Amino acid sequence: MRDPGTQRRSAGFTLVELLTVVVILTFLAFAASHNVIGASSARISEAAAAEISLVARLVQLAGVAVLLFGAGFWYLVELHEAGRLDRFRLGHFLLLATTYSLFFAVFAVLGSHAVDAWLAVTIAALVSYPLLVLHVATIVDVRFACVSALPLAVLTTGIAVNGVYGGEVRSFVYLGMVCGVVAVLTITHPLLARGRERRRAHLEAALDAAVAALAAEAAAARAVVATARGRLELQDPVELGGVREWVERRLAAVTTELGRHERMMLLADAMRGASALRERAGQCAQGQVLAVRLRVQLPQARAALEAALVALAEHRASEATAAVPGPAPDSHCMACGHACAKGSRFCPGCGAVCAEARACRRCDTITRLPRHLLTAIDGALPPTHCHGCGERHAA
């Protein structure tokens, strides 16, 4: 059964999250465009209706612009530093996309008040771009925000603006943009591939290092587990059940962590033997999740089990009422009291079977058993216990 912790995603910013944000913002953009038209239709002339419709069309293209910006943002960040977006989740991108969409919100408000389109675009850019640069700087760094994220924002918003206000040169502008993007991808894609390959190699080496680092801790935990199981095999009728239950719970916790350790080693072995990159990446990611958990929880579980074993030993020692064995009892027949010679099997006075002396394996107390009164069951004597501490005698 797969450990629940290994099911957590570690791939970072994914296509599903990008499309989720695009759907949300597209819905809001269409709602905003209808509001712009509805709010302006009551106070404008028919001559200005065409201009307001252009404003609404540009706002409706916000979802497409966010989609392009999100894809380009992922590409540029991976090119800058592979794996930087491993912890970049849906909420992070939703906030970034909202900052980016501020351009369209400002433009919609200005356009609905009959501000000239190019002036509205300029004001929207001056308001939204600095905030976007500041936001991206907190995610990556200032240089990346200025050199990569800002040109990407200009390009993607320019695509939307050109789609509405491009006029006769719209096709030429799109052609130039496509040529520029293809040129950038052609130049940078080998760098991206090498960076991602180095990232994969680093993660695989880190998993191998984690397996080696946890080997000693796992061996120590297995030794403690073996000790605990041996201690629990000694049934002690006088000890409190809560102490044993405590040890059993700690033992179960360590056993669970050792199961995760085995799972991590299996994933590392499978990763080394896998040929497909996607399969290697998946197994490496699951192994890394387990390694992070085991670094903390395996030593804690082992230490807790050791503490429980110490408490069990102290409790058993306190319950032993005969820590120091007394002198050996006199060798007399327990049936008639006649003296029996050492090593005698039967009493010379009455012929009864002589008593058997059994030593407790825990407190060394000697217990003499009246064999002539014990009834054998299936050819063997029934189990007996020490009268000093209650430990069961060895068979």
Q: What is the pLDDT of residue 377?
A: 58
Q: What is the pLDDT of residue 60?
A: 82
Q: What is the pLDDT of residue 8?
A: 43
Q: What is the pLDDT of residue 5?
A: 43
Confidence of residue 4 (pLDDT cuts 50, 70, 90): very low
Confidence of residue 7 (pLDDT cuts 50, 70, 90): very low
For 219-228, write each residue's pLDDT tens digit.
999 999 999 8
Confidence of residue 10 (pLDDT cuts 50, 70, 90): very low
Q: What is the mean pLDDT of residues 59-70?
A: 86
Q: What CA–CA distance (Å, rounded) separates 238 from 218? A: 33
Q: What pairs with residue 353 in β-bridges?
A: 346
Cα-Cα-Cα-Cα dihedral sign, residues 216, 218, 221, 226: negative
- The residue among 40, 50, 28, 44 whose CA lies nearest residue 101 is 28
Q: What CA–CA distance (Å, rounded) separates 264 from 262? A: 5
Whether 180 has a pLDDT exceeding 90, the answer reads yes
Q: What is the mean pLDDT of residues 63-86?
A: 87
Confidence of residue 46 (pLDDT cuts 50, 70, 90): low
Q: What is the pLDDT of residue 12?
A: 56
Residue burial 338-367, b: 16+ Cβ < 10 Å; e: rest: eebeeeeeebeeeebbbbeebebebbbbbb
Whether 329 has a pLDDT exceeding 60, the answer reads no
Mean pLDDT over all residues of the chain?
A: 79
Q: What is the pLDDT of residue 13?
A: 61
* β pairing state of 366-369 and 356-359: antiparallel
Distances (CA, A) of 93 to 13, 75, 148, 279, 392: 8, 14, 17, 27, 66
**Using alpha carbons only, what angle is made at residue 359 by residues 357 and 360, rounded to the nearest 5 degrees?**
140
Q: What is the pLDDT of residue 324?
A: 42
Least-confidence region, from 93-107, 279-293, 321-335: 321-335
Q: What is the mean pLDDT of residues 74-100?
A: 85
Confidence of residue 89 (pLDDT cuts 50, 70, 90): confident
CA 97 from chain centre, in angstroms, equals 27
Say which residues have a Cβ less than 8 Å from residue 191's Cβ, sequence separation at least 6: 79
For 299-327, write each residue's pLDDT tens digit.
999 999 999 888 888 777 765 544 444 44
Q: What is the pLDDT of residue 163?
A: 87
Least-confidence region, from 71-80, 139-148, 360-369: 360-369
Per-domain residue ranges for the chain? 4-165, 198-319, 322-395
Q: What is the pLDDT of residue 56?
A: 79
Confidence of residue 262 (pLDDT cuts 50, 70, 90): very high
